[in-house]
Chains A and B, each alone.
Chain A
Amino acid sequence: MSNKLNDSMSLANPNGVSTKQKVATGIGVLGLFILVLAFFNIQLANSGIILTVALGLITGGIVLYTNALYSGKSKGIKNDGIWFKSISSRGVLGWITGVILTAFYMVLYFYPHLLGLGKDGAANTGLISVFDPLSQLLSGRNASQWFVYGTLYTIAILAFGYKFIMKYRHNRYEQIRTGSVMFFQLAFAFLIPEFMYRMNSGLPYYDLKSVWPLNYYIFDEWSVKGFLSNGNIGLALILFGIISIFVITPILTYKYGKRWYCSWVCGCGGLAETAGDSFRQLSSKKMSAWKLERWLIHTVLVFSVVMTTAMVYTYLGYDHNQFWLTKGVFIGLVIAFLTLVFVVIMYYKRKELGKDAKYGAIGYFVVIASLLLMHFTGGIEEVFFIKSSTLRSAYGFYIGSIFSGVIGTGFYPILGSRAWCRFGCPMAAILGFQQRMFSKFRITTNGGQCISCGNCSTHCEMGIDVRAYAQKGENIVRSSCVGCGVCSAVCPRGVLKLENDSIKGRINPTEVLLGNDVDLMDLVNKK
């Protein structure tokens, strides 16, 4: 056997990036730089060429970087050196990236004119104007800041999706799942709404895969009116929105867990799984973070329920004869629905919930009480003397913009890639609740095979301490699990498997693990 080694066959090079990777990074940065020039109103050619070149360079840079990083290497787990790299371990590069992203979101949400958005029908300038030709091509109108954002967002998911697929060349679950989020972003979030506008320009923007309360604006008065004034298509869309919440979502979550949405369809999840993959290990696994998560996400959920109800309430009438859905009927329906959910859960799951049942009960009565108060004390527009439109704009500002955008994505390199999904998303709260209570999904722990190494917990983007369950031989049934499958992939001993199976035996706490004395297992585990 030869003593000479081919160093290029090595698994990784944590001492730095290879020349190919440096060139690729340069190409990508050049693409970004062209967009920055456009931001400062410096255009080297016409918009169509600038945009094509810039987006091409960005995408090409990411693809070339990926190829330099993974191709020619063995198929397997590729996490070498992630805690040594500045960008992925909250180093200087990580912080700089975080600041830039956060600044971008601030400008995008609150100062779009800085990006060149034309005020009051004026022509776009700067960065946004560069996107005009593409927007014209797709929908026949000029670009907005949201079109710019949507385009960049889609590019990020597609290019980094390619990277993720290459990283997990040995894992078909990861590949198919990533293909799915790439498809839904490109088709449902980006292209179809633009085409819909072209076909029927009165329709409000509707990303078909987005479900309330994620698209909390769908039941706003202008939105509902927009749909209803567009005949059968509009009516069908709004009915689809309602069916999505009450029928489609519960069925799919029952069968597959919330992953069908969070890591297969959702755009926020899509970005986290692709562009955010390098930051997944940064989520906190502390018990204290879990406690914060539970309070925060459910508070946002209550906020969104009350806010939406109040919004709809304001534009409904009092008179039966005009429209069957009056303020009174609506409040009655909401209360009836919440009561139904509450009673069913208390009846079937009281024991499982333990102490949490108390918190759930308190939450339920707070919501009901505020709804009733709203109905009987509030004027036409006020809830506790706060205008419901104020409530709506507060929600849009703090939750829709600051939490999901600025913190959720801007802080990727600091808090990890799923800070919004974990701490803030009301949709995730609802799906998670269903997943925990009524779902066939679980992560099965393979008997006694866990060696407590901690790869699963480290790489869980949702900050679940997966190991805490696996090392007890216990299946993982957690409301926050988005089913990305990475814990299973990185496990060196084949201990974890995401699967849908019968509800019985899904939650199986044990003290003595499989492999020991059967009598001892019987004695200790029977309880």
Chain B
Amino acid sequence: MEHIVIIGNGISGVTTARHIRKLSEKQITIVSAETDYFFSRTALMYVYMGHMKFEHTQPYENWFWEKNRINLKKGYVKNIETKSKTLHFAEGDTLKYDKLIIATGSKPNKFGWPGQDLEGVMGMYHKQDLENLEKYAPNNKVCKRAVIVGGGLIGIELAEMLHSRHIPVTFLVRESSFWNGVLPEGESAMINREILNHGIDLRLGANLKEIKADANGKVKSIVIQETGEEIECNVVGLTAGVSPNIDFIKDSEIEIGRGVKVNRFLETNIPDVYAIGDCAEQHEGIDQRRPIEAVWYTGRMMGETLAQTICGNRIQYKPGHWFNSAKFMDIEYQTYGWVFSKPRENETHFHWKHDDDTKCITVCYNTTSNEFLGINTFGIRMRHEIFDRWLTEKRDIDYVMTHLIEANFDPEFFKHFEKDILKAYNNKLQLA
């Protein structure tokens, strides 16, 4: 029977395995060096915050894998020998495959900062990072202050985590405003205030110069590039983005760029070797997407797609309309379609913000055709299905603004703001 080996037990690899099992009786093995069982990486923060235990982050009970005849192997793949279709493990053993799926995800970026490998410096990506954090920042007595370097989604989550244990946090953000490479100005500014309101020491436009060690090789302080200011701390979180976790592939014949190069069928240059999820790099970005998409949802979609190809129905990876979500401290964020930080040619943004400074939306539309292109929503939940349909139907902006209430997904009895939003939108039109 054909043996499918998947390296990586994250959402991409596990989705593929589940779908292959639905479609076939192939032999399936999932390899991971990180954990015995699949867990939700996005939930690690809640374990540290005490909302959940680690076992709660595992979406399937342990019997699930045996019942579905999915073999789990713990081991670190050292290299891949594609000619003989063999994996060599750091532990010394080997494993033969008929088809190989690389789904090894990402690793935190390090940009060659002095001191970046000291004790007490960590990313927030792997389960091991969580264990490290528990070791170096169990409370505010052991960790008097933590510095976070890098203002993205993981950075703000790490800030929330540390803050939940009363550990003072300094948050270095390279950009002039939080995540403003992605978020439009008004939204980014609102999140800056949300961070500050939670008592976090946010430093905008600040780069890390170096991390200094004490006599024992542990973190003692960091120095800020721009001001030269030295901040004493016991933990440094490096959250300046992630990149594909593919070092072990470098010596193989599989083509890599920043990630494992794949075509639209998620195939690499070597037959019977595929790559999906964070570690896969498209030759060209699909639609307006980036060549590497390090997002939970895209990993899952690639898994759903690749299972078809593996089981004989060779199809392209054709994701639908873009969507994403996150949570910034207490403010939830969802996005549907494309809203870039600055409107592109023939585009404009309509921005509405509630007076309480915890809710806002930005809608992007084409100024010549009036076609609705996308929405960012903060503090108001909206329906994926409705926006997906409106994007497919290429609805115009007026239609979307007048029907916004249909997309509302807030819990019952919540206050509605569609009227305020529409009023602001109509006022803006009159002014223009």
The answer to whether A and B belong to the same complex is yes
Residue positions of A touching B, CB distance < 8 A: 1-3, 5-7, 9-15, 74-77, 79-85, 170-173, 176, 286-287, 444, 446-449, 451-455, 457-458, 467-468, 471, 485, 488-490, 492-494, 497-499, 511-520, 523-524
Partner of B321, one of A6, A7, A458, A515: A515
How many angstroms from the CA of A311 to the CA of B197 in the assembled complex? 63
Q: Which chain A positions have C-beta within 8 A of B330?
A: 74-77, 170
Q: Beyond A448-B297, A468-B59, A513-B300, is A492–B327 a contact (Cβ under 8 Å)?
A: yes
How many angstroms from the CA of A360 to the CA of B101 in the assembled complex? 45
Q: Which chain B positions have C-beta within 8 A of A520?
A: 304-305, 308, 315, 318
- Cβ-defined contact, B166 with A455, below 8 A: no
- Cβ-defined contact, A5 with B168, below 8 A: yes
Query: Which A residue's beta carbon lies closest to that of B318?
Result: A517
Does residue B110 face the partner (Cβ distance < 8 Å to A)? no
Does residue B366 face the partner (Cβ distance < 8 Å to A)? no
- Cβ-defined contact, B381 with A512, below 8 A: no
Does residue B384 face the partner (Cβ distance < 8 Å to A)? yes
Q: Beyond A5-B201, A447-B388, is A519–B327 a contact (Cβ under 8 Å)?
A: no
Q: How far is the CB of B144 from chain A (nearest CB, A)?
A: 11
- Cβ-defined contact, B413 with A172, below 8 A: yes
Does residue B334 face the partner (Cβ distance < 8 Å to A)? yes
Instruction: Say which one of B44-52, B85-93, B272-280 lies at the interface with A.
Output: B44-52
Does residue B325 face the partner (Cβ distance < 8 Å to A)? yes
- Cβ-defined contact, A2 with B411, below 8 A: no
Q: Beyond A1-B202, A471-B59, A493-B327, is A454–B52 a contact (Cβ under 8 Å)?
A: yes
Interface 1/0 per residue, B322-337 and A, CB below 8 Å: 0101110110101000
- Cβ-defined contact, A7 with B166, below 8 A: yes
Name the interface residues of B315-366: CB closer than 8 Å to any CB of A: 315-321, 323, 325-327, 329-330, 332, 334
Q: How far is the CB of A2 from chain B (nearest CB, A)?
A: 7
11 extra A-B contacts, CB within 8 A, seeds A512-B304, A520-B318: A10-B163, A74-B197, A79-B49, A82-B51, A447-B388, A455-B51, A455-B52, A494-B334, A515-B297, A518-B320, A523-B313
Partner of B388, one of A11, A77, A176, A515: A515
Q: Which chain B positions have C-beta within 8 A of A497?
A: 381, 409-412
Does residue B242 face the partner (Cβ distance < 8 Å to A)? no
In the A-B complex, the 7 residue pairs with the closest CB atoms: A447-B384, A76-B330, A9-B199, A494-B381, A453-B43, A81-B50, A517-B318
Partner of A453, one of B57, B166, B384, B415: B57
Query: Which A residue's beta carbon lies closest to that of B160?
Result: A11
Q: Which chain B positions have C-beta within 8 A of A14?
A: 50, 139, 164-166
Does residue B66 face the partner (Cβ distance < 8 Å to A)? no
| Residues of B in contact with A, size category | 35 or more
Most B C-beta atoms less than 10 A away, residue of A10, A85, A444: A10
> Can you show 18 pairs from A to B with CB atoms below 8 A apart?
A10-B199, A15-B140, A75-B330, A81-B49, A171-B411, A447-B384, A448-B323, A452-B11, A454-B46, A454-B52, A455-B52, A493-B327, A493-B334, A494-B381, A494-B382, A515-B323, A517-B301, A524-B308
Query: Which B residue's beta carbon lies closest to that of A287?
Result: B61
Query: Which B residue's beta carbon lies closest to that of A171?
Result: B411
- Cβ-defined contact, B50 with A80, below 8 A: yes
- Cβ-defined contact, A453 with B40, below 8 A: yes
- Cβ-defined contact, B332 with A494, below 8 A: yes
Chief secondary structure at chain A's binding surface: loop
How many angstroms from the CA of A455 to the CA of B196 in the assembled complex? 26
Does residue B53 face the partner (Cβ distance < 8 Å to A)? yes
Partner of A515, one of B40, B301, B326, B327: B301
Q: Which chain B positions have C-beta within 8 A of A448?
A: 297, 300, 323, 384
Partner of A11, one of B22, B164, B321: B164
Interface 1/0 per residue, B53-82 and A, CB below 8 Å: 100111101000000000000000000000
Q: How far is the CB of A267 from chain B (nearest CB, A)?
A: 23
Q: Which chain A positions have C-beta within 8 A of B308?
A: 520, 523-524
How many angstroms from the CA of A2 to the CA of B168 in the assembled complex? 13
Interface 1/0 per residue, B369-406 and A, CB below 8 Å: 00000000000011111001000100000000000000
- Cβ-defined contact, B59 with A5, below 8 A: no
- Cβ-defined contact, A458 with B296, below 8 A: no
Q: Which chain B positions have C-beta within 8 A of A2?
A: 201
Query: Which A residue's beta carbon lies closest to that of B304?
Result: A512
- Cβ-defined contact, B318 with A519, below 8 A: yes
How many angstroms from the CA of A398 to the CA of B227 in the assembled complex? 73
Query: Which A residue's beta carbon lies closest to that of B313?
Result: A523
- Cβ-defined contact, A74 with B198, below 8 A: yes
Partner of A173, one of B52, B327, B413: B413
Does residue B231 face the partner (Cβ distance < 8 Å to A)? yes
Q: How far is the CB of B57 from chain A (nearest CB, A)?
A: 5
Does residue B109 face the partner (Cβ distance < 8 Å to A)? no
Interface 1/0 per residue, B240-256 and A, CB below 8 Å: 00000000000000000
Q: Beyond A80-B50, A172-B413, A520-B315, is A1–B201 a contact (Cβ under 8 Å)?
A: yes
- Cβ-defined contact, A467 with B59, below 8 A: yes
Q: Beyond A5-B168, A514-B385, A520-B315, is A493–B53 a contact (Cβ under 8 Å)?
A: no
Partner of A7, one of B57, B199, B315: B199
Q: Which chain A positions have C-beta within 8 A of B43?
A: 451-455
Name the interface residues of B161-184: CB closer than 8 Å to any CB of A: 163-166, 168, 170
Query: Which B residue's beta carbon lies closest to that of A445?
Result: B384
Q: How far is the CB of A96 from chain B (nearest CB, A)?
A: 21
Most A C-beta atoms less than 10 A away, residue of B22, B51, B388, B415: B51
- Cβ-defined contact, B412 with A498, below 8 A: yes
Q: How far is the CB of B388 from chain A (nearest CB, A)?
A: 6
Q: Which chain B positions have C-beta within 8 A of A490?
A: 51
Partner of B412, one of A15, A499, A515, A516: A499
How many angstroms from the CA of A75 to the CA of B330 in the assembled complex? 7
- Cβ-defined contact, B384 with A458, below 8 A: no
Q: Which chain B positions have C-beta within 8 A of A452?
A: 11, 40, 42-43, 59
- Cβ-defined contact, A447 with B385, below 8 A: yes
Query: Which A residue's beta carbon lies closest to that of B60?
Result: A468
Does residue B203 face the partner (Cβ distance < 8 Å to A)? yes
Q: Which chain B positions have C-beta within 8 A of A515?
A: 297, 301, 319-321, 323, 384, 388
- Cβ-defined contact, B411 with A6, below 8 A: no
Q: How far is the CB of B147 from chain A (nearest CB, A)?
A: 11
Partner of B199, one of A6, A286, A467, A514: A6
- Cβ-defined contact, B329 with A76, below 8 A: yes
- Cβ-defined contact, A12 with B384, below 8 A: no
- Cβ-defined contact, A11 with B301, below 8 A: no
Q: Which chain A positions have C-beta within 8 A of B384?
A: 446-449, 514-515
Q: Beyond A12-B166, A494-B325, A515-B388, is A451–B42 a contact (Cβ under 8 Å)?
A: yes
- Cβ-defined contact, B166 with A485, below 8 A: no
Q: How far is the CB of B220 from chain A (nearest CB, A)?
A: 16
Query: Which A residue's beta carbon lies closest to that of B139?
Result: A15
Q: How far is the CB of B58 from chain A (nearest CB, A)?
A: 8
Interface 1/0 per residue, B138-155 and A, CB below 8 Å: 011100000000000000
Query: Which B residue's beta carbon lies closest to that of A518?
Result: B320
- Cβ-defined contact, B46 with A7, below 8 A: no
Name the interface residues of B110-138: CB closer than 8 Å to any CB of A: none
Does residue B107 face the partner (Cβ distance < 8 Å to A)? no
- Cβ-defined contact, B415 with A172, below 8 A: yes
How many angstroms from the CA of A176 to the CA of B412 in the assembled complex? 10
Partner of A451, one of B56, B61, B296, B320: B296
Q: Beyond A74-B197, A80-B164, is A493–B51 a contact (Cβ under 8 Å)?
A: no
How many angstroms from the CA of A524 to the CA of B385 in the assembled complex? 18
- Cβ-defined contact, A517 with B320, below 8 A: yes
Partner of A3, one of B50, B58, B201: B201
- Cβ-defined contact, B59 with A83, below 8 A: no
Does residue B19 face the partner (Cβ distance < 8 Å to A)? yes
How many angstroms from the CA of A384 to the CA of B61 in the assembled complex? 43
- Cβ-defined contact, B56 with A458, below 8 A: yes
How many angstroms from the CA of A458 to the CA of B56 in the assembled complex? 6
Q: Which chain A positions have C-beta within 8 A of B320?
A: 514-518
Q: Which chain A positions have C-beta within 8 A of B11?
A: 452
Most B C-beta atoms less than 10 A away, residue of A2, A14, A499: A14
